[in-house]
Structure formats: C-alpha cells, structure tokens
Structure 1
C-alpha cells in the first residue's frame, strides 16, 4: 500500500518534468498523510491548435477518495489507495479510472515491515526512494464529491500493485509509478480507455527504488522534518546485538536459553 509519502521538489523541477505553465509555490513536505492536501497533475482542456500552452495543470486535492454517489463521507471508508488489478471493475473507482486519471508527484514513499505477531521481531520503517533521485509520479484517480448544499471537495487515491523484489521483503504492495514517457497516455482519458493503459499498472523495474531504514518518528504525522529520511541501523540488527535478557524485555517473549 502507500500510506505516507514525501514531495520535496521545487516548483521549477515540477514545471520541467510535467510540462506545466505554472505551479503555486509550496513548502517541502516530508510526511504527507491521508486526509491532507496533495498536489496532483491533471490533463487540462487542450489549447487551441498552434498554441504553445501546455495541456496539463497542477492542483491540490484531499488525499482520500470519495465516489460521487456517496451521501455522507463520514460514514464511508477512507480510500487512500486503489488496487490496480481491480480498479477498472470496482464501483467506487470505475468511473474515475475511465474519466479522471491523474499523476501524483512524489520524491518517494514510506513503508513499514510489520512482522507477524508473536514472532519477536520489531516493526521497521523504510524510506523508499528512486536510486537515481529526482521526482517520480504515482498513478492516481480523482473524484469531485458534491454535498447536498452544493459545496464540492476534490479527492484522490493512489493506485497500488504487487511489490517487486526490491520491496517485497518489506510489504507485498507498492504504488504504481508512471514513467515520464507515458504521462500523456495515462492522462489521456479521451482516447485511452482503461484497457488501453492496463499495461502501465505494473511494478517498476527491480533497480528503480532503494529502501532506506529510518526511525519510527515517521509514524507521527506531527513529525515533518527532513530528519525523517535519515538512515538508521535496522531495529532487527540492533536487537540481535543485545544480551538475551534485554531482547526479552524488548519483544515481550520468554527465552528457553
């Protein structure tokens, strides 16, 4: 899944990568969480023939997808992710997959390795980033929810797929990444139906990402500084070096030796 990510790119970098005319200035964000505003890229109304105006624009939406047919969002589950394997058939996402595909700029995402209960292992947070650095684009969907009083809220979800070998030891899911050369095809909901872009809903190459162990400070949304991405020694290796009595206290398990 994708439950936290970061975007630390400058507006100039976004303008260049996504071919935008303008993007509002915004602070670096190191711990973006569900329900918060996120930056997305959408296909705008195409410019007149011969015009040099770009056909993409940036906007802010709420991270947490709400289908248009929902009457009361407070009683509806928070949909931050959509499974790529079923997104074209699910009632919640079917219309958006056909008509409102988006890109979600990111510098990387956080994932947690959560071992089975009773295993004695500790959870470990990872900062997952492109090996070569730079900005990436998650595949996403957008929906505008309208209330009875006429107010509107733009919402979005990030698509996920089965993890590749680089991430599988941490979690079995990961975000779908759209490469720059496919931005136009993914955003083109006029001529490209879901079946035409299904080939894009695959894990990135094995060497695309690297996973850096980080501290559990990222667990708290209130923590939002660059130190969240500082590499730490994995918890498992630290515990392994401790005397047996300390390890028992740490994991709550008794030892027979």
Structure 2
C-alpha cells in the first residue's frame, strides 16, 4: 500500500526526468495525503517535434480514484491504490488500465510497520526513498468523474505490487516503479494493451530503495515540514506474518473532498 508520499524536487528537475515542458514551480511537499492534489504525467494528443512519440503533459488530479460510473462519491470508497495483479479485472480500474495509465512522480513514500497485538513490538513509520536520491515515477491510473451538474474532477490512484524482500519486512505491498526507459510504453494506451505492459508491474529490485525510520509525526496530515523525514532510532521490526488486507482503498484522514 502507499498512503503517503513526498515530492520535493524542483520543477526543472521534474521536467528533465519526465520529459515534459509544462510543469510550473511549486513548493516542496513532504507529506502528501489522500484527497489532496497530486502531480501526474499523461500522454498528450500531439506528437513531440521531430519524434513519432506523443508529447507528455503534466496535470493535477485528486488522489483517490472515482470511476466515471459512480453516482455519488460520498457513497464510494476512496481508491488511493490499485493492486497491479488484479486491476485489469476490477470494474473500478478496468477502463483506466486500458485507456488512462499515468505516471506519479515522487521523491519517496512513507510506510508503517504495524505489528500484531501481543508481539511486544512498537509501530514504526519509515521514509522510503531511492537509494541514490532523486525522483521516482510510480505507475498510476486516472479517471475523470462528472457530477450531475456537469462539473468534472480528475482523480487518480497508485498501482501497488507485492513487496520485494527489503520492503517486505515493513509491509507486504509497495508502489510499482516505472523506469524512465519504460515511460513511453506505460503511457501508450493506444498501441499497448494492459497485457503488453504487464511485465512492468513487478516489484523493483531490493537495492533500489532505502528505508529510514522516522517519527510518528508523519501520521498527522498537518505536519508538512521537512523534519518529518529526520531519522529516529528504529523499533524492533519482524517480517509481517501475512497480508493484512486485500482492499485497495484507504484514507487516513477520513475525508472525501474534491479539488
């Protein structure tokens, strides 16, 4: 699962990494939570000058996917994540997997090890970032929801896979990472069907991320300062005994607000 992440690199670095030209400067975001606007990249309609590849566009969507067929979002769970293994078969994600695949840039994400009761372990939060620093792109899905009055809200979710060995000691799920050399194929929903990009939905290798124990200040949405990423002494962590849930929805704030 991915319930919080950060994006703190400047727009110039994001433009270069994602190969887009329309990202405006924004302040660093250290604690991005569900229902908040998130930056995503989509495949545009026009081709890049001198290339046969579509140009890429950056835009903001609300984190928490709402399928177009939902009548009342208040009565529908907030889908912040989608399981990569089953997304193409789920009614909530099927259309987006075929037609609206996106990239979600981040500088890392937060995860919690929550031990079973009676083990004597303490809950521990982690800041998980690329070992070499910089930007990472998560696989995502997008849907535009239209209300009865004609207003529209663009919404998105992050795809997750079974955790690799390194992250598995903390949690059984992790975001799917798309490599820069695979950006074009993942975003190409015109010629690449879901089965043709299924190989991209595997957990990244163990060495890619490093997990840094941090304080529980990250639990509170209002804490958005860089200090929430400061290392702390690590509580004793044992491998999770079993997946806790197969639900793809979640919202630590309990809110379902529109952008």
The residue aligned with 2:252 is: none
Kindly indicate which of the two structures has a greater share of residues assigned to helix: 1
Change (3 A) 1:50 1:209: closer
Q: Cα–Cα, structure 1 residues 168 and 149, in superposed 2: closer, same or farther, change >3 Å?
A: same
Aligned 8 A contact 1:164 1:206 in 2: yes
In the alignment, which residue of structure 2 is the partner of 1:225? 225
Residue 71 of structure 1 aligns with which residue? 71
Aligned to 2:180: 180
Question: Mind listing any 5+ residue stretches in structure 2 that lack a counterpart?
Answer: 238-259
State the aligned residue count.
237
Q: TM-score if structure 2 supplies the norm length?
A: 0.89
TM-score by length of 1: 0.90
Structure 1 ranges of 4+ moved more than 2 A: 46-54
Secondary structure at the counterpart of residue 102 of structure 2: strand
Classify the secondary structure of the residue corresponding to 1:118.
coil
Say if 2:213 is the partner of 1:213: yes
Query: Match of 2:201?
Result: 201
Q: How does 1:60-209 map to 2 (within 5 A)?
A: 60-209=60-209
Show CA shifts across 1:129-164 (max 9, x none): 000111000000000000010000000000000000
Partner of 1:59: 59
What is the Cα deviation at residue 205 of structure 1?
1.0
Aligned to 1:42: 42
Q: How far apart, CA to CA, are the structure 1 residues paired with 2:91 and 2:66?
A: 12
Q: Does 1:30 align with 2:30?
A: yes
CA distance in 2: counterparts of 1:52 and 1:21, whole angstroms: 17
Structure of higher CA gyration radius: 1
| Secondary structure of 1:25's aligned partner | coil
C-alpha offsets along residues 192-244 of structure 1, whole Å, 9 cap, x if unaligned?
0000000000000110001000000000000001011111101339xxxxxxx
Gaps of 5+ in 1: 238-257
- In structure 2, relative to structure 1, the CA distance for the partners of 1:49 and 1:20 (3 Å cut) is closer
CA contact (8 A) 1:21 1:53 kept: no
Contact 1:66 1:143 in 2 (8 A): yes
